[in-house]
Amino acid sequence: MKIATVAQMRAMDQRAIEAFGIPETLLMENAGLAAYRVLRDRFPVAGRRILVLCGSGNNGGDGLVVARKIFSDGGQPLVLLLGDATRYHGAAAVNWEIIQRLGIDTMPYSTPAALDDLINTCDLVVDAILGTGLSKPVRGHYADVIESVNANHRPVVSLDIPSGIHGDTGQVMGTAIRADLTITFGLPKVGNLLYPGYHYGGKLYTTHIGFPPRLTRADDLAIAINRPPRIPERSPWGHKGSFGDALFIAGAADYYGAPYLASMAFLRAGGGYARLAAPAAIVPTIAARGPEIVFLPQEGTAAGSIALSNLDQLATVAGTRDMVVIGPGLSLNEETAQLVRQLAATVPVPLLIDGDGLTAISPSADSVCNRSADTVLTPHLGEMERLTGLSQEAIQDDPVGILQKTAGRLQAIIVLKGAHSLIGFPDQRVYVNTTGNHAMATAGAGDVLTGAIAAMVGAGLPVDKAVCKGVALHGAAGDLAADAIGADGVTADDILRYLPEAVRRDRLARDDETLCPDILTIV
């Protein structure tokens, strides 16, 4: 499914009205009706007192429609106005007039204490306060209302997005409603799907409110939920070379886990031939744990990392592999960083740079722009800071936009790792991944991801699709691990152990099923 920015959603509204002749009142009616249907299916309405909190914009207008539907089905809505009713215009003004004619109870906001009393007498709260247009922190009585709603623990239904969540970033703008469910209109907004906004929204529903498919599926909507293709079938007569031959340039003194996890993840996700170029001094220790790996022992620096003298040998081996992964546990040694930079600029096959490899190329990241083969970068937020020169706060304020600019500038596929990881492409496409969980915030998890992506290249997927599939499989393995042993104790080794099961489930799924969970429901 496509995902919209706030600006794209506004443009879609306008085009529906002007190009397709769909009245604004009908769009608002459809939004309110869909929201009410979800509310009615989840909570009893007849005879129940329901507090509808309405701002003075179109989000408040949606709330007025919901109040009408509650009233017509035997509920007892109370509309609490947080803004000035004279500011309603268009469809919202029409619905305000109807509310008054019907005699539905309305009252202005007065004090936090009075609001607490109202909430305590109600069975349910509908949040139609601020909507997706919020651009500055919530202040004044709006903040007081949100805090009162959260403190009183009544069930809450938010319309479009929980009030206080930024529609394009998912960030909390000072304070925000904690909803039990959210019904978003037209398309999901970026802020509905990125954390912490996704967490604040509860169960997520979406309704197209009558938009034609040419709007909701338009090519200029570059953001979508990650729904990668199936893994190609394995050839019954294949050999280890048939399922991928990957080179991992990784490891240093005191960094034994990262090279092992990356190489073994490749094998556990179905890869055929994992070659690990690591300092000779650490090879015996890794080999004792991973005898399936083929080792290429490397000369070491005085600090125990891979020496620059290995450049020619590594370049020769790299040139005939299906994919090269460079970076896991390499250390920050400057001589090794020189090796990374020279290899990154010259390797003629698909290249994935992770971890310390990203730090090595960061001072001259533009050097990867002119590579002849695909480049994949897998930074976490701190590594993205080094790649872009922007602060982590600035990246969080515009994660999609900065990812698009950076992927375009570096001509690379970039996986911005985190809760609901983002996958960005040079052509401005961005996919939001929906597998994975907070249990995966553990050392080594990213190394497992590198191996999973390389395995999907080895399975025969094009690099862009392999990245999407590897990210999805990696998250699914983390979900399986958390379900089996609990979120608190999951390690990267647990994610590695569940990779084969994630692949197995993907292969057994029907054609209409997907590895990624349905995190939103269409209504």
Task: Convert the pLDDT of each residue in 245-296 to its tens digit.
Answer: 999 999 999 899 999 999 999 999 999 999 999 999 999 999 999 999 999 9
Summarised one tens digit per residue, pLDDT across range 138-189 is 999 999 999 999 999 999 999 999 999 999 999 999 999 999 999 999 999 9
Query: Strand ranges (DSSP E) for 122-260?
Result: 124-128, 156-159, 181-185, 203-207, 223-225, 245-249
Tell me the torsion sign for CA atoms 271, 445, 172, 30.
positive
Provide the pLDDT for residue 511: 63
Please give the angle made by the CA atoms of 370, 375 and 379, to the nearest 5 degrees: 120
Provide the pLDDT for residue 42: 94
Summarised one tens digit per residue, pLDDT across range 355-404 is 999 999 999 998 899 899 999 999 999 999 999 999 999 999 999 999 99
376 SS3 class: strand
Predicted TM-score (pTM) of the model is: 0.95
The pair phi, psi for residue 457, each rounded to 5°, is -65, -45
Q: Which long-range contacts (CB under 8 A, 24 or more apart) does 106-114 make?
A: 106/78, 106/79, 106/80, 106/81, 107/78, 107/79, 107/80, 107/81, 108/80, 108/81, 109/80, 109/81, 109/82, 109/141, 109/145, 112/144, 112/145, 112/147, 112/148
Tell me the torsion sign for CA atoms 41, 44, 48, 52.
negative
Cβ neighbours of 203 (radius 10 Å): 15
User: Is 80 exceeded by the pLDDT of residue 326?
Assistant: yes
Provide the pLDDT for residue 216: 96
Summarised one tens digit per residue, pLDDT across range 482-515 is 999 999 999 999 999 999 999 999 999 866 566 7
Type of residue found at 76: Q
CA distance 415 to 473: 14
User: Is 90 exceeded by the pLDDT of residue 520?
Assistant: no
CA distance 453 to 423: 12
Tell me the torsion sign for CA atoms 1, 125, 199, 189.
positive
Mean pLDDT score, 308-318: 97
Mean pLDDT score, 9-34: 97
Residue with the two structure tokens 């489930």: 505
- Model confidence at 521, pLDDT cuts 50, 70, 90, reads confident
Mean pLDDT score, 456-465: 97
Provide the pLDDT for residue 512: 59
- Model confidence at 312, pLDDT cuts 50, 70, 90, reads very high
**CA 18 centroid distance within chain:** 33
Residue percentage of the chain with pLDDT more than 70: 99
Q: Of 175, 204, 160, 103, which Cα lies nearest the Cα of 434? A: 204
**CA 361 centroid distance within chain:** 25
Residue by residue, DSSP assigns 236-274 as TT--GGGG-EEEEE--BTTB-HHHHHHHHHHHHTT-SEE
User: Is 90 exceeded by the pLDDT of residue 195?
Assistant: yes
Mean pLDDT score, 76-80: 97
Provide the pLDDT for residue 56: 92
Mean pLDDT score, 82-95: 94
Q: What is the mean pLDDT of the chain?
A: 96
Tell me the torsion sign for CA atoms 441, 135, 193, 4.
negative
Retrieve residue 221's tokens. 């909507």
User: Is 70 exceeded by the pLDDT of residue 304?
Assistant: yes
Edge to edge, the sheet with strand 203-207 lists 105-108, 76-81, 49-54, 124-128, 156-159, 181-185, 203-207, 520-522
